[in-house]
């Protein structure tokens, strides 16, 4: 159950990524819409980490991957929790003596 709790924590934490990424996508789209027309620079610049993660397409991929990972973590958490609850219920029934041969 500790692993299920850890999965729940990771899944809930991944839920905070999407709103932040949507803000970045909106900022990227706004920058494209209001940017000046074709300013040509002959200077070759390398892509920095900030530039890479400011790209709207990269942010959409990050949002998709975080939503997929969140879904997988929460589904596996629910699966573990349901299986453990079935085991607990069965153990209680066996301990109390509720078997099929005593049911009328």
Distance from chain centroid for Cα 25: 18
In contact, 63 and 18? CB cutoff 8 Å: yes
In Å, what is the CA distance from 47 to each residue of 22, 40, 62? 22, 17, 18
Q: Are 16 and 63 in contact (CB under 8 A)?
A: no
pLDDT of residue 95: 84
Q: What is the pLDDT along the chain (104 residues), one digit of tens a residue?
A: 899 999 999 999 999 999 999 999 998 888 888 876 655 666 767 888 888 888 889 999 999 999 999 999 999 999 999 999 999 999 988 888 766 665 55
pTM for the full predicted model: 0.75
């Amino acid at each position: 159950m500790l692993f299920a709790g850890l999965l729940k924590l990771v899944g809930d934490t991944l839920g905070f990524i999407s709103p932040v990424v949507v803000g970045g996508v909106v900022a990227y789209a706004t920058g494209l819409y209001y940017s000046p027309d074709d300013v040509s620079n002959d200077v070759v610049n390398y892509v920095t980490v900030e530039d890479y993660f400011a790209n709207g397409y990269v942010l959409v991929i990050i949002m998709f991957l975080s939503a997929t990972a969140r879904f997988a973590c929460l589904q596996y958490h629910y699966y573990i929790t349901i299986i453990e609850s079935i085991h607990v219920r069965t153990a209680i029934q066996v301990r109390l003596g509720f078997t099929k041969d005593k049911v009328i």
